[in-house]
Amino acid sequence: MPNLIKITDFGNRELDVYARMTEAQLLNRDHPEEGLFIAESPKVIERALDARYIPVSLLVETRHITGEASGIIARCEEIPIYTADFEILTQLTGFALTRGALCVMRRRKLPSVEEVCRNAKRIAVLENVMNPTNVGAIIRSAAALNMDAVLLSQGCSNPLYRRAIRVSMGTVFQIPWTFLEEGESKEQSGIQMLQELGFKTAAMALSDDSVSIDDERIRKEEKLAIVLGTEGDGLAPMMIAECDYTVRIPMSHGVDSLNVAAASAVAFWQLGLR
């Protein structure tokens, strides 16, 4: 039998994780082994469970207990399952739950860059992409459009922030990813590390020496890392200088660039192995 607990007290400390803890508190940088994240919607929670993430508790809208959330409830019978009607949950969390379900799960130790890149032919590298919506959208495109892994600089939003997970539709649990080492010089050595692992690196940027994304030399590279920069300023000049190619997407109607998430989808489709 599921461990259903009807919410009667908003001040219950066990509900802090849903109502009062910030993303930074969930991440718990000082004690990462105790870090948590929140997955939203039954489909996304299902994908996290399939990836063997450990659930801590569920928050479910009452009407979904025997409906859309019934499958995940059946897989989480041993943990607390807090439940209430839509209006109460919205008041508690401050937002309307997608498909009426949230699940707190434990983070786990991230793999090394070498582990993530092992056997990979196409990877995405994100530099300082700070918007969690963009991070989630890029990871979804990477999973869908033939990337084998994603690497992120320390300045990027964490892929396990709730919004990033939701926008990715749970693909953050389906494609390998990890962070590059901290510090500017180490980020640069991250690019050098990829080159040492046999990857050619392609910086998506506008510059005088940019080549078109349909350049056959890039498409034919056996192992390729596609490097994308922050939403406003793009890639740092130092990062561009370290890469083997600088690549542009041809534009029309006087448009100079695309949002980084849109640009990533174009790049992954054009340069992914199919």
Instruction: Report residue 8's pLDDT band, with 50, 70 and 90 as the boundaries.
Output: confident
pLDDT at 267: 97
Write the pLDDT tens digit of every residue in 102-150.
999 999 999 999 999 999 999 999 999 999 999 999 999 999 999 999 9
Give the per-residue pLDDT at 182: 61
* Burial class of 129 by CB neighbour count within 10 A (0 to 12, 13 to 18, 19+): buried
Q: Which residues lie closer than 8 Å to 229 by C-beta, 6 or more apart?
A: 127, 128, 129, 203, 204, 205, 235, 236, 239, 260
**pLDDT of res. 29:** 87
Average pLDDT over residues 168-190: 78
User: Regarding beta strands 122-126 and 149-152, do their DSSP bridges make them parallel or antiparallel, or are they unpaired?
Assistant: parallel
Q: Which amino acid is at 66?
A: T
Instruction: Give percent above pLDDT 90 in the chain.
Output: 74
pLDDT tens digits, residue range 42-89? 999 999 999 999 999 999 999 999 999 999 999 998 999 999 998 888
Q: Would residue 99 be called left, alpha or beta, if left means φ above 0 and alpha means ψ between -120 and 50 degrees?
A: left
Q: Where are the alpha helices (DSSP H) in 145-243?
A: 162-167, 184-196, 216-219, 237-242
pLDDT > 70: what percent of the chain?
A: 97
CA distances from residue 35 to 21, 106, 248 in whole angstroms, order as listed: 12, 6, 38
Q: Bridge-partner residues for 248, per DSSP?
A: 212
pLDDT class of 183 with cuts at 50, 70, 90 = very low
Inform me whether the pLDDT recorded for 189 exceeds 60: no
Q: Tell me the whole-structure pTM to 2 decimals.
A: 0.92
Annotate 12-66 with three-state secondary structure. Answer: CHHHHHHHCCCHHHHHCCCCHHHCEEEEECHHHHHHHHHCCCCEEEEEEEHHHCC
